Structure formats: C-alpha cells, structure tokens
Amino acid sequence: MGCRQRTAKGDLLRIAVVGDECVADPRGTLPGRGAYLHLDMACYDLAVRRRAFPRAYRSQGPLGTERLRQCVAQAEHIDTTSSTSSTTGK
C-alpha cells in the first residue's frame, strides 16, 4: 500500500477500518474492506503521505492512523530485536 511492492500476503499486515480509525487486523477477521501494508515504518509513512488509507477504503474524509502507527512501530521494533538476537546467537 505504501511502497507498492508486491509481497506474499503472509508478510503483510491487514488493515481494516473501525469507525473512522484504521486498525491492524493481523488475523484478518474484521469485517469490511481490507488493505495490506508492510510492517515497516517507511512503508507506513509513505502511505500516510500519499493519503493511501482514505483512497483504499473509499472514505470521504480523513481516517485516524495513530493506533496503526503504534502497532507498526511496535512490530518493527520486535522484528529488529529478534533479527539482532538471531544473528548474535543469543
């Protein structure tokens, strides 16, 4: 969505809209239209800058993305921590 790169669906985070807020839907169980995003802050920031969320959901107004930002940042932090520990053998 943000970087427009094609990737396997399992490597992406599904985003759904609840009310006027974009929320992470990692299990893919929330109803409605879904959009997919890499778990990478650069991809998230690009999607926000390009206003990709309202366009993907065909929304008339802006959508809140703060909770989604926190989720992506946390997931990115966990991913970099686990890859660092796996390369150092800890």
- Whole-prediction pTM: 0.78
Contact 21, 67 (CB under 8 A): yes
Q: Is residue 3 part of a domain?
A: no
Q: Is residue 59 part of a domain?
A: yes
- For residue 14, the domain's CATH number is 3.30.1230.10
Residue 61's domain comprises 9-88
Q: Is residue 4 part of a domain?
A: no
Q: How many domains does the chain have?
A: 1
Integer Cα distance of 35 and 4 in angstroms: 12
Q: Where are the alpha helices (DSSP H) in the chain?
A: 41-49, 52-56, 66-88
Q: Is residue 1 part of a domain?
A: no
Q: Which residues contact 87 (CB under 8 A, 6 or more apart)?
A: none
The model's pLDDT over 65-76, given as tens digits with 9 standing for 90+, comes to 999 999 999 887
What are the φ/ψ torsions at residue 63 (nearest 5 degrees)? -115, 145
pLDDT, residue 89, reads: 54
pLDDT, residue 19, reads: 92
Q: Is residue 69 part of a domain?
A: yes
Q: Which residues of the chain carry a pLDDT beneath 50?
A: none
pLDDT, residue 78, reads: 77
pLDDT, residue 87, reads: 55
